[in-house]
């Protein structure tokens, strides 16, 4: 199996700001695997500096991983995925691109969409939320909410000094919508408890990562004192984190860029279910290639936040869609993603 | 999807006795599913009275489950497996037969062995043990061990008044073999601790289910005081049990007849891995149809005990084999099991 990669620069429709700031660099790395018989598969890495990756580290990691692919059997996805971190630890986004490409390759060879290979019913996918980033100006915030009119579920990014104001404006502008909140690790535990009480009054559905990633006791503190479900995101990268978080939170948010592959994502879901935890899948700013890999898991989720491609000014790939929040998986074999014809 | 079933009576080569007695009734229930397009899949239920099932309860449960299959989509294995226990709880062996048949159907449709559908490398399967049941007579015990000459790993059933004697004879007759011990819940915790010390002297690899199924504190008591890994079997039916057992034992033994299906088996493995537990898969006395369904999971296991068909006087089915302990998966599509030509 040979590996090619290409760095693709993306532009969001609006500046995308969260509690730890705005990112200007939304480059992803697209991977194409070609087997000896010419069969191909593609996947995408969405590196995030918060998790220690950039397009450059992804490219360097891919170079290390390529010999594993050259020796391995492209059907033996489990073995290849297990081998990659023994060659080079970390680099989850880079590994997830390979994982997605191997799954794409296998399902395309068999002529079925990936969800069918997994025995999943795409009609069972929950609706995806659409994210409203941090905005300081009221007119702009209202414009963003109006633009998201088609989405019945909004995820509101909090973690600035004006959280109470943001929630008042959002709830006023979208009185009927389901609202979810993501604090991106911004609050101290006691501030988080107070915010959760306020968010409950606004009818918020759940709160993601109220406190710092490493602060597992803080998560427990907030969870014990909040009526809203607490979902761990930055605290939960892989399946062993799910095991550790059981009893401390109400659910986990998995992302391919954190867990390193589709098989680990399945293991996270299984572990969460064994512990009675809610399961959500999220994404980075990425094209429909990256989003679609995660979207094939959607029938196994309680909550989906797969708007990474919907946030783009231009999505170069055509795959799963979230029109009106409804996750629609392509019928094409494999991931079912194709390059969009350039106008 | 239509469902047919057939009760098949099996005879073991020798009387099969474990701590809670010998079973004379080794009937299994074989299930064939036929989809609207004529595609078929087969699976086997090995009911066990210890888990509340008989061939008659399996037949009755299958009658309840049939409407779910009639309405469902045979590709949506996840949804069908999730639906079955909502119609009728328990009855794990009956559900596991349907699960195996749905997986057989899907993989046969795609023209690949089930392990390939799962992305597994069959070369990674561990060797299977071969079981030596409880025998009172020394000459007979030595004859059984001699008959098992081809198997480098023996699993010794203990839990009688003569455990120390059994171990002395077995170790004397098989000085070089890897030995594992299964007490089938027979010991009180302090007896178990003393036995584990003795078994360690005999170079035993691990001990399965030393104490009663419900006695989780007893498992912890033994595990804290034993140098040998303690594997839960009767205490561990489904993935939520794995979550509960984490920290109390060193590993878990999964069986399709306990967990109710191949997808739950995958979830058990994932949960166990997330908790750093060893994973073993076992079986009942069953034909190669039942064994092969479990054998496709083998590349994910640390330990395999898949000798259920090898214990039979006559195996009506041809599937996975454990010659010399080596698990060989069929290359045929699906489970890859066919009926043996009757002489």
User: For an interface test with B, which of A125, A271, A297, A329 has the most B Cβ atoms less than 10 Å from its Cβ?
Assistant: A271
Residues of chain B with Cβ-Cβ distance to A252 below 8 Å are: none
Min Cα–Cα distance to chain A from B119, Å: 5
Q: Spell out which chain B residues touch chain A, with contact meaning CB-CB distance below 8 angstroms.
A: 73, 75-79, 102-103, 106, 110-112, 116-121, 124, 239-240, 242-243, 246, 263, 266-268, 270-271, 273-276, 299-300
User: Would you list the DSSP string of B49-99?
Assistant: GGGT--HHHHHHHHHHHHHHHHHS-TT-HHHHHHHHHHHS---HHHHHHHH
Residues of chain A with Cβ-Cβ distance to B124 below 8 Å are: 79
As a whole number, mean pLDDT of residues A91-103 equals 98
Strand pairing of B251-254 and B278-281?
parallel
CA distance B3 to A248: 44
Question: What is the pLDDT, as a whole number, of residue B96?
Answer: 98
User: Would you list the DSSP string of A192-221?
Assistant: HHHHHHHHHHTT---EE--S-TT-HHHHHH
Question: What is the pLDDT, as a whole number, of residue A199?
Answer: 98
Min Cα–Cα distance to chain B from A284, Å: 24
Asked if residues B309 and B287 have their Cβ atoms less than 8 Å apart, the reply is yes
Nearest to B73 among A118, A121, A239 (CB): A121
Question: What are B153's strand-pairing partners?
Answer: B178
As a whole number, mean pLDDT of residues A323-334 equals 98
Asked if residues B126 and B151 have their Cβ atoms less than 8 Å apart, the reply is no
Contact A300 B78 (CB under 8 A): yes
End-to-end CA distance of chain B: 32
Contact B120 A274 (CB under 8 A): no
CA A187 centroid distance within chain: 21
Contact A270 B275 (CB under 8 A): no
Q: Which residue of A has its CA nearest to B300?
A: A78
pLDDT tops 90 at residue B23: no
CA distance B286 to B309: 5
Question: Which bin fits B298, alpha (ψ -120 to 50), beta or left (φ > 0)?
Answer: alpha
Summarised one tens digit per residue, pLDDT across range B172-201 is: 999 999 999 999 999 999 999 999 999 999
Residues of chain B with Cβ-Cβ distance to A75 below 8 Å are: 116, 119, 121
Q: Where are the alpha helices (DSSP H) in chain A?
A: 55-71, 77-87, 92-110, 114-117, 138-147, 163-173, 189-201, 216-225, 239-245, 256-259, 262-274, 288-295
CA distance B92 to A326: 35
Summarised one tens digit per residue, pLDDT across range A33-70 is: 999 999 999 999 999 999 999 999 999 999 999 999 99
Q: What are the structure tokens assigned to B289, written together?
A: 């149809």
As a whole number, mean pLDDT of residues A74-101 equals 96
Of A281, A318, A274, whose CA–CA distance to A297 is shortest? A281
How would residue A24 be classed by pLDDT, with cut points 50, 70 and 90?
A: confident
CA distance A22 to A72: 40
At residue B184's C-alpha, the angle toward residues B183 and B189, to 5°, is 60
Residues of chain A with Cβ-Cβ distance to B102 below 8 Å are: 119
CA distance B237 to B256: 9
pTM of the model: 0.93
pLDDT tops 70 at residue B343: no
CA distance A329 to B272: 31
Summarised one tens digit per residue, pLDDT across range B140-172 is: 999 999 999 999 999 999 999 999 999 999 999
Q: Which residue of B has its CA nearest to A300?
A: B78
Summarised one tens digit per residue, pLDDT across range A244-293 is: 999 999 999 999 999 999 999 999 999 999 999 999 999 999 999 999 99
Residues of chain B with Cβ-Cβ distance to A243 below 8 Å are: 243, 246, 271, 274-275
Of B276, B246, B253, whose CA–CA distance to A240 is shortest? B276
């Amino acid at each position: 199996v040979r590996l090619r990669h290409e760095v693709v620069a993306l532009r969001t429709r609006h500046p995308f700001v969260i509690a730890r700031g705005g990112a200007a660099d939304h480059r992803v790395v697209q991977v194409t695997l070609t087997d000896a018989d010419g069969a191909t598969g593609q996947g995408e890495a969405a590196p995030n500096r918060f998790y220690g990756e950039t397009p450059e580290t992804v490219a360097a990691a891919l170079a290390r991983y390529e010999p594993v692919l050259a020796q391995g059997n492209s059907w033996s996805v489990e073995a290849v995925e297990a081998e990659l971190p023994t060659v080079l630890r970390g680099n989850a986004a880079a590994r997830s691109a390979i994982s997605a490409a191997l799954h794409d390759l296998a399902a395309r060879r068999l002529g079925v969409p990936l969800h069918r290979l997994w025995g999943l019913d795409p009609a069972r996918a929950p609706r995806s939320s659409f994210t409203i980033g941090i905005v300081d100006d009221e007119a702009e915030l209202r414009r963003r909410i109006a633009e998201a009119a088609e989405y019945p579920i909004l995820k509101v990014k909090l973690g600035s000094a004006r959280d109470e104001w943001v929630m008042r404006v959002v709830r006023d502008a979208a009185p009927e919508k389901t609202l979810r909140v993501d604090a991106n690790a911004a609050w101290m535990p006691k501030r988080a408890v107070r915010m959760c009480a306020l968010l409950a009054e606004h009818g918020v559905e759940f709160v993601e990562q109220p406190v710092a990633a490493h602060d597992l006791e803080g998560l427990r503190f907030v969870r014990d004192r909040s009526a809203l479900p607490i979902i761990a995101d930055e605290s939960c990268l892989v399946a062993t984190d799910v095991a550790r978080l059981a009893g401390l939170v109400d659910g986990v948010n998995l992302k391919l860029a954190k867990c390193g592959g589709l098989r680990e994502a399945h293991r996270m879901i299984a572990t969460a279910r064994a512990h009675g935890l809610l399961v959500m899948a999220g994404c980075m700013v990425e094209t429909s290639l990256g989003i679609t890999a995660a979207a094939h898991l959607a029938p196994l989720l309680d909550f989906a936040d797969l708007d990474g491609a919907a946030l783009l000014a231009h999505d170069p790939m055509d795959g799963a869609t979230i029109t009106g929040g409804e996750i629609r998986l392509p019928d094409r074999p494999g991931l079912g993603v194709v390059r969009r014809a350039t106008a």
